[in-house]
Amino acid sequence: MKITVVGTGYVGLVTGACFSKLGYDIVCVDKDTAKIDDLKKGIVSIYEPGLEDLVQKNIKSGNLKFTTNLKEALEKTEAVFIAVGTPSRRGDGHADLAYVFGVVDELAENLSSEVVIVTKSTVPVGTGREIYKQLKKKRPDLVFHVASNPEFLREWAAIEDFMHPNRVMIGVDSVKAKNLMARVYNPLCINKTPIIYTSIEAAELTKYASNGFLAMKISFINEIADLCEKCGADVKEVARGIGFDDRIGDKFLHVSPGYGGSCFPKDTKALSYTAQQYDAPLTLIDAVIAFNEARKKSMGLRIESILGSLKEKKLAILGLTFKPNTDDMRDSASLDILPYLIEKGSKLNVFDPKGMKEAKKLLGHLPLKWKKNSYETLEGVDAVVILTEWDEFRFLDLNHVKKILKSPVIIDLRNMYDLEEMHKAGFEYHSLGRKIIKPMD
């Protein structure tokens, strides 16, 4: 089966590479000539474990091709997966569908045989229907079907998530589209992956509802953490306790300075915007958005209230990315916290294992000292602030850390360390939703 994937960003490339591994004849199309030239050589600019290797192997096997020529890519294709960006440019949550409908216009010009058009991009409910309408208007002669097949890929685990998903959502309204999608995902049925067929609208909304729910779950435990601090409970114990309830589940209950990344902030806002358009406001989601934004902003103040005046204070910042194992800085809490600390007069050494290049693009205007490794960052500072839970921070030599710090103070916004361990090591240790450890306790 030949499949065309339009857009070679994160989602498009993972989709194309994984489908090619399943044995399909995949052509990935993008307008960016330089990117396509690199991809043809097997060069992948995105940091995603296993992706470059998968791309290279499948180029070699002949299953995966790259082109800028859409017309050529559409020849004899049975399905076109649209995987272009849907950015949120206006700040009000409105998802910009210009790229999606740009592709639809080009499909109208270039399609010549029956095809199923599948949206992989995260699109607001109603987009599938609108694609059908617009294409039908431009090409009344063309036989085509529309389907929605949202992705639920986590950065750094994208290939695993694609190959072993919790479920595959397929929104269709024709037997032809359903049969084709069943064939496409048949190889995953071997692992007993649930394939859920729904209306196009339900599939589109499921993506937003999933991300909205997960964002709500994170915000819930973050708010409980605030209460724990006041009442003396330990949030890790509470999270463990509620997580054993099957109805709740133990995932996504890690306390944090607020969620970030390419999906949760954008998708929660888009979901809220869609709900307002339908005159069915989602007050819970609105509260989550407001809570998370306020939380990220409050973290600078929290650091200040622990350390007192920040003027001339030397701090080590460990971690800049929105989560570990990625170089992605989008909507990372560090983007709120670092400007605040600088504004208040502190001097910052910063380090992230993979995110330095991306971080420099967004934080390069600040007077930061960019360090090469954790220990260099910690040298001679008044306190350490952990913003991202990279494994290498978990395994620091605490005795050595204590020796090289000016004062043994750690503010851990990811609850990476055990309280007992910190106590034994003689640190003043501040985490979220847990008691404060003082060296003398």
Q: Are 59 and 26 in contact (CB under 8 A)?
A: no
CB of 8 to ligand UDX, least distance (A): 18
Distance of CA 125 to the CA centre of its chain: 20
Minimum CB distance to ligand UDX smaller for 253 or for 288: 253
Region 165-224 residues binding ligand UDX, contact defined as CB under 6 A: 211, 218
Stretch that binds ligand UDX, among 81-89, 149-157, 299-307, 359-367 (CB under 6 A): 149-157
Nearest-angstrom CA–CA distance, 106 and 329: 32
Stretch that binds ligand UDX, among 104-112, 195-203, 257-265, 336-344 (CB under 6 A): 257-265
Enzyme catalytic residues: 263
CB of 18 to ligand UDX, least distance (A): 14
Stretch that binds ligand UDX, among 96-104, 148-156, 277-285, 365-373 (CB under 6 A): 148-156
User: Number of residues in contact with ligand UDX, rule: CB under 6 A?
Assistant: 19
CB of 86 to ligand UDX, least distance (A): 13
CB of 380 to ligand UDX, least distance (A): 29
3-class DSSP assignment, residue 145: strand
Stretch that binds ligand UDX, among 165-173, 197-205, 253-261, 357-365 (CB under 6 A): 253-261
User: Which residues are paired to 169 by β-bridges?
Assistant: 196
CB of 157 to ligand UDX, least distance (A): 8
CB of 143 to ligand UDX, least distance (A): 32
416 belongs to the binding site for ligand UDX (CB under 6 A): no
Query: What is the x/- site pattern for ligand UDX, positions 62-101, by CB under 6 A?
Result: ----------------------------------------
User: Which residues are paired to 25 by β-bridges?
Assistant: 2
Ramachandran area for residue 259 (φ above 0: left; ψ -120 to 50: alpha; else beta): beta
Name the CA dihedral angle for 362, 365, 366, 370, rounded to a multiple of 10 degrees: 70
358 belongs to the binding site for ligand UDX (CB under 6 A): no
Which two tokens mark 230?
């006041």
390 belongs to the binding site for ligand UDX (CB under 6 A): no
260 belongs to the binding site for ligand UDX (CB under 6 A): yes
153 belongs to the binding site for ligand UDX (CB under 6 A): yes
The amino acid at residue 89 is: R
Please tell me what DSSP assigns to residue 154: P
CB of 40 to ligand UDX, least distance (A): 27
Contact with ligand UDX (CB under 6 A) among 256, 268, 346, 374? 256
Stretch that binds ligand UDX, among 150-158, 177-185, 192-200, 294-302 (CB under 6 A): 150-158
Stretch that binds ligand UDX, among 107-115, 131-139, 153-161, 179-187 (CB under 6 A): 153-161
CB of 389 to ligand UDX, least distance (A): 8
Region 261-290 residues binding ligand UDX, contact defined as CB under 6 A: 261-264
Q: Are 327 and 358 in contact (CB under 8 A)?
A: yes
Contact with ligand UDX (CB under 6 A) among 30, 48, 52, 155? 155
Query: What is the x/- site pattern for ligand UDX, positions 16-35, by CB under 6 A?
Result: --------------------
10 belongs to the binding site for ligand UDX (CB under 6 A): no
Minimum CB distance to ligand UDX smaller for 1 or for 163: 163
355 belongs to the binding site for ligand UDX (CB under 6 A): no
330 belongs to the binding site for ligand UDX (CB under 6 A): no
CB of 211 to ligand UDX, least distance (A): 6
Q: Provide the binding-site residues for ligand UDX, judged by CB under 6 A.
A: 151-155, 211, 218, 252-254, 256, 259-264, 322-323
